[in-house]
Amino acid sequence: MRSPPLTTSGRVRAALRVAGMLAIVGFVVWRVDMSAVRASWRGMSPGAVSLAAVAFCAAMSVRALKWRRQAEAVGLRFLPGLATRRFLLGVLLGVVTPMRLGELTRLSALEVPESERAPTLGLATAALLLEKLVEIVVLGALASLGAWVVWPDTVLGPLASLGVLALAVGVLAPIRPPGRLLEMLPAGLRGRVVQPALKARDDLAPMRRGELLALTGLAQGLNMLGGYQIYRAFGELDLLRFSFGMPLLTFASAAPFTVSGIGVREAAAMQVFGAQEYPASGAAIAASMVFLGANVLPCLALLPWTLLTSARSSSSRE
Can you tell me the mean pLDDT for 62-75?
A: 91
> Is a pLDDT exceeding 70 seen at residue 48?
yes
Domain coordinates of the chain in residue numbers? 13-76+117-300
Read off the pLDDT of residues 200-224 as tens digits, 9 standing for 90 and up. 788 788 888 889 999 999 999 999 9
Can you tell me the mean pLDDT for 222-245?
A: 90
pLDDT class of 311 with cuts at 50, 70, 90? low
Q: Which amino acid is at 312?
A: R
pLDDT class of 99 with cuts at 50, 70, 90? low
Read off the pLDDT of residues 277-290 as tens digits, 9 standing for 90 and up. 788 899 999 999 99
How much is the pLDDT for 8? Answer: 64
Report the half-sphere exposure of 140 (CA within 13 A, side-chain side).
19
> Is a pLDDT exceeding 90 seen at residue 121?
no
> Is a pLDDT exceeding 80 seen at residue 83?
yes
Read off the pLDDT of residues 242-255 as tens digits, 9 standing for 90 and up. 888 898 888 888 87
How much is the pLDDT for 88? Answer: 93
Based on its alpha-carbon atoms, the radius of gyration of the chain, rounded to whole angstroms, reads 21
SS (H, E, C) 19-85: HHHHHHHHHHHHHCCHHHHHHHCCCCCHHHHHHHHHHHHHHHHHHHHHHHHHHHHCCCCECCCCHHH
